[in-house]
Structures are given as C-alpha cells and as structure tokens.
Amino acid sequence: MSTSDMRDIDDTVVAELTRLRESIDNIDAAVVHMLAERFKCTQQVGLLKARHQLPPADPAREARQIARLRQLAETANLDPAFAEKLLNFIIAEVIRHHERIAVEPRTADDTGTDDPRGTTGSAEDGPEDRR
C-alpha cells in the first residue's frame, strides 16, 4: 500500500499499521543478526571438521535438529513444516560452505576469526554442538 493509498484511511489505522511494520522491521533485523551469529559459530565447526577430515554433513545431527526445531515451532504456534523447510534451506547452505572449507588451503593455526572466506559455516552445528 503506497502513501497515496493511505490518505483515505483513518489516522489511527495508519498509525497502527506503521507501528506494526516497524516491529516487523526490527524483528527482521534481529533474525538477520542471529543468523550471522549462528554462522560465525558454525564457521568454527566447519574449520574443525576440515582440520580433522570429518565429513561436511552429519545426517544424524541434521535429523535431530529438524525434530528439535519442529517441536520448538509447535510450541511457538509456528507451522512445523515451514520451520523444517527453513532449517533444510540453512543446512543445505551450510553443507555447501563446509565442502568449500574442506578443499580450501588453511594455515595450521587457522581459527576462522580472520578467515577471508567469510563468516558462514554449518547451520546444523551450533554452539551447543562441540564435536
């Protein structure tokens, strides 16, 4: 709805719509920042896996995470199928990053903090997963 379309709408409705949209914008920003933090952690997991020749994917871990996220979604009154699709999308991206990390040269003391490859890593692995 454009600004010109809103001229005919009651001011209280416009104010409420604006308030809600500002909340949505703030939530979207928080989601992006949380994903960035998660990827920073999983970057370290990807580097650890590469150093120890562990496979980029961990299907058992992924299945546990999907089940866990579906349960969280149900508790939060969010469609579990949607939550699963979202996690599967993230996992696919993470595996792609782990595969790239596994073939790129690293230094012996590479911790991932100054890694020029970016800050992405494994979404299926988080700070709670210290393999």
Q: What is the per-residue pLDDT across 13-68, written as a single tens digit (0 to 9) for each? A: 999 999 999 999 999 999 999 999 999 999 999 999 999 999 999 999 999 999 99
Confidence (pLDDT) at 20? 98
pLDDT tens digits, 98-121? 999 999 876 555 554 444 344 444
Q: Which residues contact 98 (CB under 8 A, 6 or more apart)?
A: 46, 49, 50, 56, 57, 121, 122
Q: What is the DSSP letter of 7?
A: G
pTM to 2 decimal places: 0.69
User: How far apart are the C-alpha atoms of 10 and 118, rounded to whole Å?
Assistant: 47
Confidence (pLDDT) at 3? 57
Burial class (CB within 10 angstroms; exposed 0-12, middle 13-18, buried 19+) of 50: buried
The conformational region for residue 77 under phi > 0 = left, psi -120 to 50 = alpha, else beta, is left
User: How far apart are the C-alpha atoms of 76 and 27, rounded to whole Å?
Assistant: 16
